[in-house]
Amino acid sequence: MNNIQITELDNGVKIVTEKIPYLQSFSLGFWFNVGSRDENNNNNGIAHFIEHMLFKGTKKRTAKQISDSIEAYGGYLNAFTSKEHTCFYGRGLSKNIERTFEVISDMVQNPLFKESHIKKESGVVLDELLDIHDNPEELIFDKFEEILFKGSPLAYPVIGKEANIKKYSSKELIEFHNKFYGNNNLLIACSGAVEHERIIELAKKYIQPERNSKGIRKYQKFETHPFIKVIEKEIQQVHCIIGRGTYGYKDDQRLLLNMLSNLIGDGSSSRLFQAVREKLGITYQINSFVNSYFDKSAFGIYFSTNEKYVERVLSIVTKELNKLIENKVSERELKRVKEYLKGSMLLSLENTSNRMIRIANSVLYFNKIIPIEELIKRIDSVTSEQILELSKDLLKEDELARIIIRAKNNNGALAA
């Protein structure tokens, strides 16, 4: 843990770094505590749109100069928006860290938001939206959470709504940017060949001191409920999610939840992969998932298959979930899951971007770094009795939601 340091500057910016002395490269991320859950019905999609717009130019750089400033030196620059965070990040050789830091800090502090750029980029984002709607295996997750989290801003899709994307103005983007992209909402995370004091020095040099924002996220309690939803589209396969809302990042049960998900459908050794794909060969895709947020997670099972096999797959899923409710997991299977989770976690640390994301998430959600050794100890301490109790709590069939995307002109049998 001595290689990881956290500092909060007087201007409100938090900095977390992880020094890896044997590397020559770094991953640097500017994380803003803003995402689609900070939006409303009239501006849903604006955080994602601003992410795009920050690459369109600043008061001192054109869009091409932004990319050339990094790529001309063998670096990489990108960004992503989630429901709770927006991250602008770069990778490169250690000798170019100041260049990358200065470019990203310029982007996030001095965007132009020109009307001509907004109009052009709205076409790009609309094309991205259409791509999602043309891709049922991506669309179904948006629709599942939209219904599952109804009544909460977590229901809003990151990409936003077509009507909103078409109407964003410079004034609206500037107001939202001023509200949420201040120093008090910023975490700078860096992993690799980096000195903590060097990042502090760069932050003091390039981050404007008076940039606090007034946008503070409010968490309101809400409940999730089972539902059935059928969507018809011009597609060949049937896509389905069975799932529910459950423990978020801040709940100690989330580790157990991840282990249960792994047991059910994560990897080719999982129960559903073996029962449905390997033994019967009636689906190509079947997996479980946990999409976690501060206060809630969306947990479920996704599969796609031919229409004639849907009911059979559903019956097998139900059968496998009931087994977990009725019987303890064997020590052998539990050991496999533990080793899989630990192996996946440790292998992910071979990548500086993954390490940067890990330390950033740890600070954003827990305001501290949770050591890998502690996570491994927690995994090893899980018992089959705990998995059984969690299964009884989460896997009852009448408490699970179901969403299906199927071909048009189906006879309607899947709605039940």
Q: Can you give the pTM of this predicted structure?
A: 0.94
Q: 151 lies in which domain range?
A: 4-206
**194 and 56 within one domain:** yes
Residue 303 has a pLDDT of 97
Q: Of 163, 159, 134, nearest to 146 (Cα)? A: 159
Residue 394's H or E segment, with its range, is: helix 384-394
Q: Are residues 158 and 233 in the same domain?
A: no
> Which of 174, 206, 238 is the last residue before a domain boundary?
206
Q: Are 177 and 96 in a shared domain?
A: yes
Regarding whether 191 and 270 lie in a shared domain, the answer is no
- Is residue 218 a part of any domain in this protein? no
Q: Is residue 354 situated within a structural domain?
A: yes
CATH of residue 253 = 3.30.830.10
Statement to judge: residues 130 and 57 lie in one domain: yes
| Whole-angstrom distance, CA of residue 159 vs CA of residue 42 | 13
Task: Output the 3-class SS for 92-144.
Answer: EEHHHHHHHHHHHHHHHHCECCCHHHHHHHHHHHHHHHHHHHCCHHHHHHHHH
Assigned domain for 54 exists: yes
Measure the CA–CA gap between 377 and 211, rounded to whole angstroms: 41
Is the domain of 13 the same as that of 152? yes
Q: Same domain for 277 and 363?
A: yes
Whole-number pLDDT of residue 319: 96
Number of structural domains in the chain: 2
Length of the chain measured in residues = 416
222: in domain: no
Do the domain assignments include residue 219? no
Distance CA 236, CA 308 (A): 12
| Distance in angstroms (rounded) separating the CA atoms of residues 299 and 292 | 8
The angle subtended at Cα 51 by Cα 46 and Cα 57, nearest 5°, is 120
Residue 261 and residue 405 in one domain: yes
Same-domain check for residues 162 and 256: no
State the sign of the Cα–Cα–Cα–Cα dihedral 163, 166, 172, 173: positive
Tell me, what's the pLDDT at 409? 72
Instruction: Sheet with 186-192: list strands edge to edge.
Output: 4-8, 14-19, 186-192, 25-32, 86-93, 76-81
Statement to judge: residues 297 and 379 lie in one domain? yes
**Same domain, yes or no, for 166 and 239?**
no
Confirm whether 114 is domain-assigned: yes
Could you list the pLDDT tens digit for every one of the 416 residues in the chain?
579 999 999 989 999 999 999 999 999 999 999 999 999 999 999 999 999 999 999 999 999 999 999 999 999 999 999 999 999 999 999 999 999 999 999 999 999 999 999 999 999 999 999 999 999 999 999 999 999 999 999 999 999 999 999 999 999 999 999 999 999 999 999 999 999 999 999 999 999 988 888 878 888 889 999 999 999 999 999 999 999 999 999 899 999 999 999 999 998 999 999 999 999 999 999 999 999 999 999 999 999 999 999 999 999 999 999 999 999 999 999 999 999 999 999 999 999 999 999 999 999 999 999 999 999 999 999 999 999 999 999 999 999 999 999 998 755 444 44
Residue 267 counted as domain residue: yes
233 and 196 in a common domain: no
d(CA 347, CA 95): 26
125 occurs within a structural domain:
yes
